[in-house]
C-alpha cells in the first residue's frame, strides 16, 4: 500500500444571472474539489465555499493522513478533525474536512470497484428531490419559467422559492411572489419557501398566516438558524414544516437544533462529510425527525440513498448547473426523483478538469 495523498483545487463559476435570497446576493459560485489518492486510484469530493478552503487541505489535512490506511475512513476522519481544532471546525476548515471525507469514501469505493451507494448500503435506489431557486433577484417571468420547467416539464412535484427579500423589508413582494409561484405550479405541487433567516419572530408568523391560502408546506429558516428558541416558537404557531440546519458544521449543532424544528437540513459538504452526515441522521432519527440534504445534489446522492429517514434532497439550480457543466455522469431529476448510480464505481461521476480549467482560481 502506498501513502494516502490529499490535494485540492478551487474553481469560481459565474452564475447564469444575478442570484439572491433574503440576506445575501452573489454573481459567482466557488467549487472546491479535493482529490484523495492511494494505490493508483483517485477519489473526489467537493464543497461550495471560499477558495481559501482549498489551502486547508495541503496545509493541515494532508500532513496527518499520509501514513493511514485509506480504507480506514473513520481513523482518517478523526485525524483530520483533530488537526483543524485550532483553525476552527465551523467555517472554512469544516468545508475542507467535509470535501476530504467525501473524497475518501469515493476512493474507498473505487479501490474496491464498488458503487459508493453499494458500499454504504441503500435504503432507496431513487432519491426524491425538490426544485430550488426562485431567487429574489428574479423577475416574475424568470421565476415562472423556472418553476414551470420543474413542475410541468420535468415532473418535479415540489419546488422552493426564496423570500425575506432585503432582510425582511419587502414582505408585500414576498407574498406576491409566493402567490405567483402557486399560480405557476398549480394546486397539486408542493410549494416551499426559504427566508434565509431574514424575518423577526412575530414577523415570520404573520407572513405564514398571510400566506395561509397558498398551502405552503415547507418554511425554511423563517428566523436566524442561530435563534433556536425563535425557530421553535415559529414552528409551534404555523402550519408549514419549519426546517433549518444548512449551516451546521458538526454533530453537536444538530443535536441542539433538533428539538426546535420539524426537519433537519444537513449539508454533506459542510457538516463533516459522509461520515458525519450518517451520524447526524441517526441523531435526528432518535428524536423522530427526518432529514433533508442541502444543495450539492450529486455529492449527496450516495449518502442520501443510504439514509432511511431522508425526506428529500435539494435540487438547487446553481449547483445542478455547475455539476452538469463540470462532471460526467450526472443524473436527471425527471419525475421528482434522481436515480442513484449503481453501475459505476464510487459516486458515479467524473470531474472534467478540461472543462473546469478556465474557471480555476486556486
Q: What is the pLDDT of residue 197?
A: 98
For the chain, the first-to-last Cα distance in angstroms comes to 30
According to the model, what pLDDT value does residue 34 have?
A: 98
In the predicted model, is pLDDT for residue 1 greater than 80?
no
- Residue-averaged pLDDT of the chain: 97
> What pLDDT was estimated at residue 2?
63
Q: Kindly report the CATH number that applies to the domain delimited by 118-350.
A: 3.20.20.120
pTM: 0.97
pLDDT at 122 over 60: yes
> Angle formed by the axes of helices 273-286 and 94-111, to 10°?
100
Q: How confident is the model at residue 246 (pLDDT cuts 50, 70, 90)?
A: very high
Q: Are 38 and 154 contacting, i.e. CB atoms less than 8 angstroms apart?
A: no
Cell matching residue 59 = 496545509
List the chain domain ranges: 5-113+354-361, 118-350
CB 2 within 8 A of CB 31: no
Specify which residues 338 forms β-bridges with: 127
pLDDT tens, position by position, 141-150? 999 999 999 9
Name the region of 336 (left: φ>0; alpha: ψ -120 to 50; beta: rest): left
**Cα separation of 264 and 243, whole Å?**
6
Q: What is the pLDDT of residue 135?
A: 98
| Domain made up of 5-113+354-361: CATH architecture | 2-Layer Sandwich (3.30)
pLDDT of 249-282, one tens digit each? Answer: 999 999 999 999 999 999 999 999 999 999 999 9
How far is the C-alpha of 227 from the C-alpha of 229, rounded, in Å? 6
Give the rounded distance of the alpha carbon of 360 from its chain centre.
22
All three cell numbers of 57, joined, read: 487541505
Amino acid at each position: 500500500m502506498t501513502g494516502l495523498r490529499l490535494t485540492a483545487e478551487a474553481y469560481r463559476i459565474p452564475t447564469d444571472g444575478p442570484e439572491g435570497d433574503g440576506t445575501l446576493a452573489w454573481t459567482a459560485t466557488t467549487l472546491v474539489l479535493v482529490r484523495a489518492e492511494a494505490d493508483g486510484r483517485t477519489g473526489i469530493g467537493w464543497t461550495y465555499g471560499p477558495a481559501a478552503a482549498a489551502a486547508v487541505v495541503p496545509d493541515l489535512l494532508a500532513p496527518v493522513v499520509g501514513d493511514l490506511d485509506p480504507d480506514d475512513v473513520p481513523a482518517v476522519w478523526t485525524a483530520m478533525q483533530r488537526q483543524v481544532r485550532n483553525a476552527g471546525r465551523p467555517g472554512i476548515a469544516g468545508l475542507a474536512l467535509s470535501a476530504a471525507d467525501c473524497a475518501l469514501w469515493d476512493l474507498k469505493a473505487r479501490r474496491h470497484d464498488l458503487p459508493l451507494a453499494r458500499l454504504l448500503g441503500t435504503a432507496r435506489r431513487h432519491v426524491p428531490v425538490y426544485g430550488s431557486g426562485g431567487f429574489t433577484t428574479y423577475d416574475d417571468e424568470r421565476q415562472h419559467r423556472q418553476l414551470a420547467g420543474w413542475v410541468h416539464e420535468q415532473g418535479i412535484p415540489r419546488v422552493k422559492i426564496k423570500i425575506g427579500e432585503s432582510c425582511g423589508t419587502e414582505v408585500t413582494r414576498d407574498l406576491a411572489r409566493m402567490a405567483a409561484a402557486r399560480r405557476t405550479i398549480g394546486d397539486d405541487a408542493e410549494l416551499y419557501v426559504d427566508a434565509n433567516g431574514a424575518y423577526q419572530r412575530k414577523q415570520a408568523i404573520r407572513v405564514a398566516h398571510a400566506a395561509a391560502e397558498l398551502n405552503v408546506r415547507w418554511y425554511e429558516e423563517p428566523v436566524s438558524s442561530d435563534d433556536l428558541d425563535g425557530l421553535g416558537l415559529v414552528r409551534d404557531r404555523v402550519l408549514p414544516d419549519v426546517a433549518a440546519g444548512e449551516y451546521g458544521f458538526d454533530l453537536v449543532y444538530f443535536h441542539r437544533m433538533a428539538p426546535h424544528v420539524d426537519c433537519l437540513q444537513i449539508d454533506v459538504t459542510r457538516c463533516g462529510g459522509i461520515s458525519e452526515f450518517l451520524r447526524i441522521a441517526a441523531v435526528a432519527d432518535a428524536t423522530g425527525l427526518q432529514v433533508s440534504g442541502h444543495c450539492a445534489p450529486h455529492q449527496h446522492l450516495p449518502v442520501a440513498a443510504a439514509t432511511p429517514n431522508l425526506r428529500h434532497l435539494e435540487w438547487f439550480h446553481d449547483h445542478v448547473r455547475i455539476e452538469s457543466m463540470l462532471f460526467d455522469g450526472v443524473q436527471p431529476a425527471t419525475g421528482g426523483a434522481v436515480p442513484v448510480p449503481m453501475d459505476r464505481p464510487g459516486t458515479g461521476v467524473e470531474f472534467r478538469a478540461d472543462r473546469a480549467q478556465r474557471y480555476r482560481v486556486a
